[in-house]
Structure 1
């Protein structure tokens, strides 16, 4: 039986991003659990600001199609969402908007994989407000988003130089979220990919 394919990414491309660190920590944890894990940066998939007139005139950007196909091939996806003014980043929202415009082929970019979400923030709330908005967006796109999520407060000091979480409590949160994502992805893994 083929092992589940899992994708980890962050809605930030900033150098030193704590959400890139969180997505990396999740990818590392999942890899140690013998999952087929891809860790990507949206730096490699630049997209223009979504504009329906541009879409009508120029068609879908190649990177939107590439991301949609990549999403659709996964059994599970972990999204780390920075918090900008109490919501998701423009980068993440724009990326999801473009992916949603790509017609599904054999599998749907949002309805095929299981999603897990997390956030890391230097503040005391750990990005939880962005997670509420991200969950709403994913559900609106038809995604199944597991209830478990991870929120890392004081994130500027939460990771060591190897990219691992330094706090036992935070590490348990990550492990619990990863375990739920893996179990749910296995449970809902389409028969054709088994």
Structure 2
């Protein structure tokens, strides 16, 4: 059973991407994956600054996130689009997790990982302009990002108000099933 770490690149209480990642994480669980859903609000980090890192080392929350990333086979990320790119919260999180620590490569938390990327926006593009930027960042870190992705335009009208489900889930389940399948195929047995 693959282990999938799921999170949103937004901590706004009523974020469309928080709603989307909840649905996607539930779909992963239903597909047989062991899914850990985290909220980045529970892991506050300062804006990355190399001088602060040199003086203070890695913040505790960066170390906690590194451990979570290393303990999972795959990443499932839903993110908003800020000015046609990745929001600063998500970029800062990925940067802190990628820092070298006690002689361990900063790329280790991303090693042998596969990811699926999702976006939701009330606009007509549904976060589509951000997804290539997120793909490039993850690829640079060594993550294999699945070719399929999910973009939800008009997110303000896409969720059923009564039960929170997507009115038309369409491709979301396809992307989630592909992530679970690929993560299961690539999952390595735990090192003893």
How would you bin the TM-score normalised by the shorter chain? over 0.9
Between Structure 1 and Structure 2, the one with more helix by share is 1
Taking the aligned partners of 1:136 and 1:113, their CA distance within structure 2 comes to 14
Work out the number of aligned pairs and report it: 187
CA–CA distance in 2 between the matches of 1:144 and 1:99? 17
Structure 1 residue 172 displacement after superposition: 2.3
| Structure 2 Cα separation of the partners of residues 163 and 186 of structure 1 | 28
What secondary structure does 2:75 align onto? strand
Q: Which residue of 2 aligns with 1:124?
A: 124
Match of 2:164 in 1: 163
In the TM superposition, residue 95 of structure 1 has moved relative to its aligned partner by: 0.4
Please report how far the alpha carbon of residue 36 of structure 1 lies from its aligned counterpart in structure 2 after TM superposition.
0.9
Partner of residue 23, structure 2: 25
Give distance in 1, aligned partners of 2:100 and 2:92: 13
Q: CA deviation at 1:192?
A: 3.2
| TM, length-normalised to structure 1 | 0.92
1:133-153 Cα deviation digits (max 9, x unpaired): 000000111111111100000
Residue deviations 1:38-75, cap 9 Å, x none?
11110000000000000000000111111011011111
Q: Equivalents in 2 of 1:47, 1:5: separation in Å?
A: 24
Aligned pairs for 1:81-100 within 5 A: 81-100=79-98
Correspondence for 1:71: 69
Q: Is the 8 A contact 1:74 1:112 kept in 2?
A: no
Q: Which runs of 5+ in 2 are unaligned?
A: none
Where structure 1 has 5 or more consecutive residues not aligned to the other structure, the ranges are: none
Task: For residues 98-133 of structure 1, give each alpha carbon's deviation from its aligned partner in whole angstroms, at most 9, with x where no partner exists.
Answer: 00004448x921123211101000000010111010
Residues 114 and 144 in structure 1, CA contact (< 8 A), matched pair in contact too: yes
| 1:155-193 deviation line (CA, Å, top 9, x unaligned) | 0121124331111xxx12111100110111011111336
Aligned-partner SS, 1:26: helix
